[in-house]
Amino acid sequence: MKFTWFNLMPWPHLPDDFREQNRSVWVDIPSTLYDPRRGHHVYHEYMDQLEYAESLGFDGIGVNEHHQNGYGLMPSPNIIAAGLARRTSKAALCVIGNSIALYNPPIRVAEEFAMLDVLSGGRLVAGFPVGTSMDTNFCYGQIPSLTRDKYREAHELIMRAWAEDEPFAFDGKYNQLRYVNCWPKPIQRPHPPIYIPGGGSIETWDFCLDHDYNYSYLSFFGYLRAKSLMDGYWNRVAARKKDESPYRAAFAQIICVADTDQEAEALYAEHVLYFFNRCLHVFPPFADPPGYRTINTIKYGALSQMRAEAQKILQNLTWKQIVDERFVIAGSPETVRQQLEECVKGLHVGHLFCLFHNGNMPDWKTRHSTKLFAERVMPKLRDLWPDWSHDDRWWIKPMEDRLRPSALPRVGAGDAIGTRPAGAPRP
């Protein structure tokens, strides 16, 4: 098993009556609710947590992209990942990902991801989401029924930009570039591991299988509700005669660990409920503009978790409900181990995106839960897939001789700094 510590970076200062006073946490959330000075603290706290996760032995640390969103403060996850690249040295930097249909031209993503891969010594996991309708259509103005086509073209451009050694012309429908020449190129060849976060569009399954990319189901509603969708994915894998490596798939799960089940509720309930009640309060029409999902996906019945039915579930949600229905895996280390094993085996996933920070959870609780997990749960779940233990097709391959940032000189001790070494030629 590979464990990635993921932070959505929610704004932790939404008012108690946020749900009553606002129609949506996303797209048209009042920007007066954001305070840049508090934001300074929030970013640093969250980045510290991601770096802490590496020190505890998590395989990866994860960030993602959202726009105009009260639960995702990273319009540019690449900026955060660049910061993390400097103080970490082992963990994969999982950027899940860049909404490639939004970049104009998308060669920008090829360049920035290459920069991150080079900066981190080959530790980038590159995510290419189609993007939610909130981000893609309502915040960034893309036409819903053309979004997938634009995504397809952006993907083709980025992969060619990484693969080709000579400048080439790209005559696309949405992008016309006379000289495509990605400079720099990523360390990982032919390209970093590619993850496709999907929310239930069946077209995404075939896309992943066509290219042997990882399919990541990023749900906030736990493994019980994810079962039928992931079964659909694995059926498709079998139908396409691909092997059943669990590392083909990733799943996101909210996890809260305490010494006992009761203590988990006492410590974490209010923060998890903040997440479900405020952070997921999305105006339903933003989640499903006509044309965004294909007719095939609608007929398949895989509906967005942000739609009206889901919004009803979120009203008056209690801790008991979210634990019973496994939206959240919470409790003692043994409870969490047992439920996670059920989750991982049930969904047949080799990669787990673990969400320990939730809503307005304070730093110490986030670290407490993370540490208990790393010490008392993670070791027992490591070897759930013995038959596939050598399968690294969907994981990073860093270079051996990676650098750490050099130490900053002490003030006043710098007489030798910036002077020409003896024997160096004069200009």
For other proteins, the closer CB: 292 or 319 = 292
For other proteins, the closer CB: 265 or 288 = 288
For other proteins, the closer CB: 141 or 386 = 141
The DSSP element (H or E) to which 236 belongs, if any, is helix 222-239
291 contributes a contact to other proteins by CB under 8 A: yes
Write down the least CB distance from residue 296 to other proteins, Å: 10
Which residues between 146 and 185 bind other proteins (CB under 8 A)? 146, 173
284 contributes a contact to other proteins by CB under 8 A: yes
| Residues paired with 353 in a beta bridge | 4, 252
Q: Which residue has the tokens 């570039």?
A: 177
Alpha carbons 280 and 373: distance in angstroms, whole number: 25
Nearest to 183 by CA among 270, 107, 245, 241: 107
276 contributes a contact to other proteins by CB under 8 A: no
The DSSP element (H or E) to which 330 belongs, if any, is strand 328-331
Long-range (24+ apart) CB contacts under 8 A made by 410-414 are: none
309 contributes a contact to other proteins by CB under 8 A: no
33 contributes a contact to other proteins by CB under 8 A: no
Classified as helix, coil or strand, 27 is coil
Q: Residue from 79, 143, 163, 266 that binds other proteins (CB under 8 A)?
A: 143
Write down the least CB distance from residue 168 to other proteins, Å: 25
**DSSP per residue over 134-163, as a string?**
IIIIIIT---GGGHHHHHHHHHHHHHHHHH
Q: Residue from 18, 46, 274, 286 that binds other proteins (CB under 8 A)?
A: 286
Stretch that binds other proteins, among 235-243, 286-294, 319-327, 349-357 (CB under 8 A): 286-294
Structure token pair of residue 21? 């006073």
Q: Binding pattern to other proteins, positions 123-142, x when CB under 8 A?
A: --------------xx--x-
283 contributes a contact to other proteins by CB under 8 A: yes
For other proteins, the closer CB: 22 or 369 = 22
CA distances from 185 to 115, 116, 168, 182 (A): 8, 10, 15, 6
217 contributes a contact to other proteins by CB under 8 A: no
Phi then psi for residue 127, to 5 deg, are: -100, 140
For other proteins, the closer CB: 241 or 299 = 299
Write down the least CB distance from residue 294 to other proteins, Å: 9
> How many residues form the binding site for other proteins (CB under 8 A)?
20
DSSP H helices, 246-381, are: 261-274, 295-300, 308-314, 319-324, 333-347, 363-376, 378-381
Alpha carbons 224 and 339: distance in angstroms, whole number: 11
Write down the least CB distance from residue 310 to other proteins, Å: 15
Stretch that binds other proteins, among 72-80, 143-151, 312-320, 359-367 (CB under 8 A): 143-151
For other proteins, the closer CB: 293 or 326 = 293
Q: Is residue 409 within 8 Å of residue 370, measured between CB atoms? A: no
299 contributes a contact to other proteins by CB under 8 A: yes
Alpha carbons 271 and 276: distance in angstroms, whole number: 9
Q: Binding pattern to other proteins, positions 182-211, x when CB under 8 A?
A: ------------------------------
Interface residues toward other proteins, by CB under 8 A: 137-138, 141, 143-146, 173, 283-286, 289-293, 295, 298-299
